[in-house]
């Protein structure tokens, strides 16, 4: 446990693209930030779910892989010396003489004038298949996300699921895996038509095997190393698929966790904010990015970037009371390193 109290101007919950950009926007207004994330990597969904997928709607980048976007955002935030507390979910938020104290599951406590919630869909985790011994294989042979495609080169891979992630990763990994088998309990997939057409082409060419209609029934292996995945059809007939890895893509279970009990006004499972400032129903607490909602909200990274700028301007008087805020372009002001 680390029970030392850190002090900063702004505590940011979530290091997705929007939380990271908030560091820059706050920094330009002379406000220091400390950030928390349950994940042990920076980048939120971009890093955890689709680091190698190209994004096409970031202004100024006709195409940028999600992982590279995060690298750029981390670089852009760096001159403002953010402090990151990673790998543990935020568990508490308490009023404090300075504003608030935010605490994470490791006992790190940060006192800040303002809190920015950039928590996406909440702390997210995978929907696990109901296989009793799966935990023993997780992280060694069973993966809920692909961090680096290369790790799957020449492997025999079972992908389970029928959505975009299952289909997209089957297409992508078929390029380098020894064998890709897609297990789905029905013949209908819920994926983009073009991707699906490509999957069927690969199946006809023998480069992907569609194991349909089957569902996962068991795992075989030892010491976390998988040797086979057992599947069963609706009548209970079993098949044994020799495999090195299992990638179950059954979607994400998002958990708002403690945020839901912080007396904030919600609209569905998102935090209602004033679109002019991103203030929540509790003074001093702001919400931006996917977690924030207001009329006309678009859940896009670029909307989150603009919200970060609005929130930073609204936070300024809390951190620098009595100081006039003169709006300045970055071209006039520059950044600390430049
Ligand atoms: C496959 C896919 C493709 C996409 N393509 C595009 C695209 O082309 N263009 C586009 O604009 N958007 C796209 N998106 C959406 C985009 O990724 C999101 O809009 C964006 O990630 C939202 O950023 P964020 O910073 O608000 O939240 P997130 O990226 O969700 O990050 C939130 C972070 O907060 C953390 N967190 C939550 N609760 C806690 C807690 N209690 N304690 C500690 N940490 C916590 C989470 O662990 C997470 O890391 C795509 C999404 C997916 C899944």
Compute the distance from residue 45 Cα to the ligand 1 centre, in Å. Answer: 4
- To test ligand 1's pocket by mutation, which of 12, 16, 67, 291 has the most ligand atoms within 8 angstroms of CB? 16
Q: Read off the pLDDT of residues 26-60 as tens digits, 9 standing for 90 and up.
A: 999 999 999 999 888 899 999 988 888 999 999 99
Compute the distance from residue 37 Cα to the ligand 1 centre, in Å. Answer: 12
- To test ligand 1's pocket by mutation, which of 23, 44, 124, 164 has the most ligand atoms within 8 angstroms of CB? 44
**Residue nearest atom 49 of ligand 1, based on CA coordinates:** 44
Q: What radius of gyration, in Å, describes the C-alpha atoms of the chain?
A: 22
Q: Distance (Å, rounded) from C-alpha 325 to C-alpha 309?
A: 13
Nearest-CA neighbor of 108 among 16, 19, 38, 21? Answer: 38
Q: Read off the pLDDT of residues 270-323 as tens digits, 9 standing for 90 and up.
A: 999 999 999 999 999 999 999 999 999 999 999 999 999 999 999 999 999 999
The token duo for 222 is: 């030892």
**Is the pLDDT at 158 greater than 90, yes or no?**
yes
Cα angle value 76/100/335 (rounded, 5°): 20
Q: How many CA atoms lie within 13 A of 254 on its CB side?
A: 13
**Residue nearest atom 38 of ligand 1, based on CA coordinates:** 123
User: Environment class of residue 69 by beta-carbon count within 10 Å: exposed (0-12), middle (13-18) or buried (19+)?
Assistant: buried
Secondary structure letter of residue 260 according to DSSP: G
Contact 202, 194 (CB under 8 A): no
Compute the distance from residue 18 Cα to the ligand 1 centre, in Å. Answer: 8
What percent of the chain stands above pLDDT 90? 83
Q: Distance (Å, rounded) from C-alpha 254 to C-alpha 9?
A: 28
Secondary structure letter of residue 261 according to DSSP: G
pTM for the whole structure: 0.75
Compute the distance from residue 230 Cα to the ligand 1 centre, in Å. Answer: 33
Q: Which atom of ligand 1 is nearest to the CA of 18?
A: 25
Compute the distance from residue 225 Cα to the ligand 1 centre, in Å. Answer: 31
**Residue nearest atom 35 of ligand 1, based on CA coordinates:** 14
Q: Which atom of ligand 1 is nearest to the CA of 121?
A: 30
**Residue nearest atom 6 of ligand 1, based on CA coordinates:** 55
Per-residue 3-state assignment (H helix, E strand, C coil) for 284-316: CEEECHHHEECCCCCCCHHHHHHHHHHHHHHHH
Residues in contact with ligand 1 (CB, 6 Å cut-off): 13-19, 36-39, 44-46, 49-50, 55, 57, 89-90, 118-123, 257, 289-290, 299-302, 304
Q: Read off the pLDDT of residues 112-153 as tens digits, 9 standing for 90 and up.
A: 999 999 999 887 667 889 998 998 999 899 998 887 899 999
The token duo for 65 is: 């892989």
Secondary structure letter of residue 142 according to DSSP: B
Q: What counts of helices (H) and strands (E) characterise the chain?
A: 7, 21
Compute the distance from residue 262 Cα to the ligand 1 centre, in Å. Answer: 21
């Amino acid at each position: 446990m680390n029970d030392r109290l850190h002090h900063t101007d702004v505590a940011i919950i979530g290091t997705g693209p929007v939380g990271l950009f908030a560091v820059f926007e706050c920094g330009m207004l002379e406000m220091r930030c400390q950030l928390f994330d349950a994940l042990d990597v920076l980048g939120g969904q971009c890093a955890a779910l689709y680091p190698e997928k190209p994004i096409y709607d970031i202004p100024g980048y006709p195409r940028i892989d999600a992982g590279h976007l995060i690298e750029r955002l981390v670089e852009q935030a760096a001159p403002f010396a953010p402090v990151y507390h990673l790998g543990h979910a935020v568990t508490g938020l308490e009023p404090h003489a300075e504003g608030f104290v935010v605490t994470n599951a490791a006992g790190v406590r940060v006192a800040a004038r303002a809190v920015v919630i950039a928590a996406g869909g909440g702390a997210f985790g995978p929907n696990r298949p109901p296989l009793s011994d799966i935990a023993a294989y997780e992280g060694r042979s069973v993966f809920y996300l692909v961090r680096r495609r290369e790790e799957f080169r020449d492997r025999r891979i079972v992908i389970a699921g029928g959505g975009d992630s299952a289909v997209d990763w089957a297409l992508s990994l078929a390029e380098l895996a020894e064998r890709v088998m897609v297990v789905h309990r029905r013949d209908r997939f819920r994926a983009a038509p073009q991707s699906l057409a490509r999957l069927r082409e690969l199946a006809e060419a023998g480069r992907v095997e569609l194991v349909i209609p089957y569902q996962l029934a068991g795992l075989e292996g030892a010491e976390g190393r998988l040797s086979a995945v057992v599947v069963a059809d609706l009548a209970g007939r079993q098949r044994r698929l020799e495999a090195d890895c299992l990638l179950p893509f059954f979607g994400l279970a998002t958990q708002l966790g403690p945020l839901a009990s912080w007396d904030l006004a919600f609209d569905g499972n998102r935090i209602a904010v004033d679109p002019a400032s991103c203030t929540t129903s509790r003074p001093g607490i702001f919400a931006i990015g996917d977690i924030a909602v207001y009329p006309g909200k678009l859940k896009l990274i670029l909307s989150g970037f603009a919200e970060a700028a609005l929130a930073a301007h609204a936070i300024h008087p809390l951190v620098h009371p009595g100081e006039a805020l003169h709006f300045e372009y970055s071209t006039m002001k520059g950044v600390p390193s430049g």
